Amino acid sequence: MSIEAINEQLLRAIGVGVALLDLNELTFRFHNDTFSEWFGEPDPAARLSDLFAALDVEALRRALTADGRYATETTFKVKRRTMTVAMDFNRALASGEPIAVLVCQNITRIKELESMIDSYSMMVERNTREIKREKEQVEKLLLNMMPRPVYEEYKTFGVVTPRLYDPVSVLTLDFCGFGGMVSTLDPGVIVSELNDIYSAFDRIGEQFGCERIKTIGDAYITVSGMPDPAPEHALSVANAAVRFLRYLNQRNDSHPIQWQCRIGISTGAVIGSVVGVQKYIYDVFGPAVTRALRIRGHTEPMTVCADSAIAELIGSRFSRVSMGMFDLGGGNRHEIFRTEAIADQPKVYGLSS
Amino acid sequence: MEQTLFQKYGGFSKVSRMVLDLYNRLLDDDDIGPFFDDVDMARIVDHQTKFISSLLGGPASYSDDQISRMHQHLEINARHFDILSKILAETLADHGMSPEDVEAVVNSFEDRRKLIVG
């Protein structure tokens, strides 16, 4: 067998569709077996556009004249299977006549894989979005339970080391007659009212650099000076305290249910830690917390009381009126003071300030 | 966390081969194939990818309602379901899945029979 004959056999049998086109008429001069298997046996007089109706013949001519090559794809169905074939036209010259070599490659498998990757990546993206959303919800929940730096420590190490914060200032608040309200009002109403009030306290506290630690029923505890130290911790809680009262007064003017609170503030050291293994909660303990709670117990409705330590720190901007000596823990008696912001007091004209 | 069959059998890179093989076998089958006669290739592939992924515990999951709704307009009878079940089992086994795992997958497929066979 001659080399030419072998070449022709190879060309016919190869798994790539090959055809030679007369560029003047766009008719077929030659095609191999694979080509006719895919596209049918072209008539001797058949033109390129008869076989490929969707082919842009003008674009083909322009590209072949300009660049000498043109590439496109064609899709057709064999039985129910979609086949995609990549077509490459290359201009050539045979005995001075313009011809083009058309090479067709079956890229069905690639197209199927592309579709599968699209489909799969869409599933994965959707899952990733869902996981991210869940993660954000968990984070939000945990940030409600502990300050952000504590949460970061918990996330990184899985545990939180108890830490001493000194000095900080503590504000504790409760509502007068809460027991009576619980027995007379609808529980749903109580919860929704408390939610409203505590949310307002949180916002006010945040403005003054206070971190709400917890609420237990009608008791609310917030601290300034932790987890990051704050030089103005005492002023922060004192300012928050008078604004809590102001907020409640305003709210009582326009709401049917009246809330009367008592606020105790103190300063000193606290220990902050996550407590519990299964149901963990971030909490603070220490002399400042105990004193603030005791002070609150001796406070009149809708007033703020402070011990001498914090009263010293908030000095000039708050007035103080002694309420007497009380046991604030440890058996020693301490003087406590009713405290008001100077700006809140009724002005007495004619007196020099 | 328990490993899913999807992870056990090599994740997407291996499962993708099972999917394409199943796709070929279903199209070649003269009972099942006609359901896909006028369906776009990308949609069939999408269908098979999600089908296999959900059976193997991959990143797709469908509620019974969704499955039922998606097959509502098709006249799928018990014989069609049997054939698909058989082709599925053969494909998974040919890709090296252990007989117990094939059985587990086919059982979970069978659990959906009432949603699909109308």
Cβ A118–B42 below 8 Å, yes or no?
Answer: yes
Name chain B contacts of A111, Cβ cutoff 8 Å. 41
Give the phi and the psi of residue A10 in degrees, each rounded to 5. -60, -45
pLDDT at A307 over 70: yes
Q: Which domain holds residue B25?
A: 11-116
Cβ A119–B49 below 8 Å, yes or no?
Answer: yes
**pLDDT at residue number A197:** 96
Name chain B contacts of A112, Cβ cutoff 8 Å. 20, 23, 41, 45
Q: Which domain holds residue A30?
A: 3-106
pLDDT at B2 over 80: no
B19 or A132: whose pLDDT is higher?
A: A132
**pLDDT at residue number A171:** 96
Q: Please indicate, yes or no, whether residues A210 and A330 belong to a single structural domain of this protein.
A: yes
Does A227 sit behind a cis peptide bond, omega within 30 degrees of 0 on the bond before it?
A: yes
**pLDDT at residue number A150:** 86
Per-residue pLDDT, averaged over B26-47, amounts to 88
**Is residue A94 assigned to a domain?**
yes
**Is residue A151 assigned to a domain?**
no
Give the phi and the psi of residue A265 in degrees, each rounded to 5. -125, 145
**Is residue B94 assigned to a domain?**
yes
Q: What is chain A's mean pLDDT, rounded? A: 89
pLDDT at B61 over 80: no
Burial A273-283 (b: 16+ CB within 10 A, else e): bbeeeeebebb
Q: Please indicate, yes or no, whether residues A326 and A245 belong to a single structural domain of this protein.
A: yes
Statement: the pTM of the whole predicted model exceeds 0.80: no
Identify the contact set of chain A against chain B, taking CB-CB distances under 8 A.
Answer: 79-82, 109, 111-113, 115-120, 123-124, 126-127
pLDDT tens-digit map of A71-115:
999 998 888 888 999 999 999 877 788 899 999 999 999 998 899
Q: Please indicate, yes or no, whether residues A216 and A317 belong to a single structural domain of this protein.
A: yes
Alpha carbon of B116: minimum distance to chain A alpha carbons (Å)? 22
CATH number at residue A38: 3.30.450.20
On whether any CB of chain A is under 8 Å from the CB of B35, the answer is no
Alpha carbon of B60: minimum distance to chain A alpha carbons (Å)? 6
State the total domains in chain B: 1
A1 or A193: whose pLDDT is higher?
A: A193
pLDDT at A330 over 90: no
**Nearest residue in B to A115, CA atom:** B42
**Is residue A147 assigned to a domain?**
no
Instruction: Give the DSSP H or E segment for A73.
Output: strand A69-78
**pLDDT at residue number A344:** 61
CATH number at residue B23: 1.10.490.10
Burial B38-71 (b: 16+ CB within 10 A, else e): eeebbebbbbbbbbbbbbbbbbbeeeeeeeeeeb
**Is residue B6 assigned to a domain?**
no
Per-residue pLDDT, averaged over A174-188, amounts to 92
**pLDDT at residue number A4:** 87
Which among B37, B40, B49 has CB closest to A120? B49
pLDDT tens-digit map of B83-98:
999 999 999 999 999 9
pLDDT at A352 over 70: no
Cβ B37–A111 below 8 Å, yes or no?
Answer: no
Cβ A113–B16 below 8 Å, yes or no?
Answer: yes
Q: Please indicate, yes or no, whether residues A68 and A176 belong to a single structural domain of this protein.
A: no
* Distance separating alpha carbons of residues B97 and B21, to the nearest angstrom: 14
**Is residue B30 assigned to a domain?**
yes
Q: What percent of chain A has pLDDT over 90?
A: 55
Q: Please indicate, yes or no, whether residues A44 and A190 belong to a single structural domain of this protein.
A: no
State the total domains in chain A: 2
Cβ B59–A81 below 8 Å, yes or no?
Answer: no
**Is residue A353 assigned to a domain?**
no
**Is residue A290 assigned to a domain?**
yes
Q: Please indicate, yes or no, whether residues A180 and A98 belong to a single structural domain of this protein.
A: no
**Nearest residue in B to A121, CA atom:** B59
Over its C-alpha atoms, chain B yields an Rg (Å, rounded) of: 14
Q: Please indicate, yes or no, whether residues A58 and A173 belong to a single structural domain of this protein.
A: no
Which among A79, A81, A119 has CB closest to B46? A119
CA-angle at A135, arms to A131 and A139, nearest 5°: 175
Percent helix, strand, coil in chain B (nearest 5)? 70, 0, 30
**Is residue B4 assigned to a domain?**
no
pLDDT at A351 over 60: no
Alpha carbon of B68: minimum distance to chain A alpha carbons (Å)? 20
Alpha carbon of B72: minimum distance to chain A alpha carbons (Å)? 22
pLDDT at A194 over 90: yes
Name chain B contacts of A127, Cβ cutoff 8 Å. 59
Query: Where do the H-state alpha helices sit in A45-107?
Result: 48-51, 57-66
**Is residue A126 assigned to a domain?**
no
pLDDT tens-digit map of A47-75:
998 889 889 999 999 999 899 999 999 99
**pLDDT at residue number A110:** 92
**pLDDT at residue number A353:** 38
**Is residue A83 assigned to a domain?**
yes
Which among A81, A111, A120 has CB closest to B27? A81
On whether any CB of chain A is under 8 Å from the CB of B5, the answer is no
The counts of H helices and E strands in chain B are 7, 0
Cβ B42–A81 below 8 Å, yes or no?
Answer: no
**pLDDT at residue number A244:** 96
- Amino acid A218 reads D
**Is residue A231 assigned to a domain?**
yes
**pLDDT at residue number A236:** 95
Q: What own/partner pairs with CB < 8 Å and gap ≥ 24 does A241-246 have? A: A241/A171, A241/A173, A241/A265, A241/A304, A241/A339, A242/A304, A242/A340, A242/A341, A242/A344, A243/A204, A243/A208, A244/A173, A244/A201, A244/A204, A245/A302, A245/A303, A245/A304, A246/A344
**pLDDT at residue number A190:** 93
CATH number at residue A225: 3.30.70.1230
- One DSSP character per residue, A174-233 reads EETTHHHHHHHS-HHHHHHHHHHHHHHHHHHHHHTTEEEEEEETTEEEEEES-SS--TTH
Per-residue pLDDT, averaged over A261-267, amounts to 95
**pLDDT at residue number A345:** 56
Per-residue pLDDT, averaged over A271-279, amounts to 80
Per-residue pLDDT, averaged over B15-33, amounts to 90
**pLDDT at residue number A346:** 53
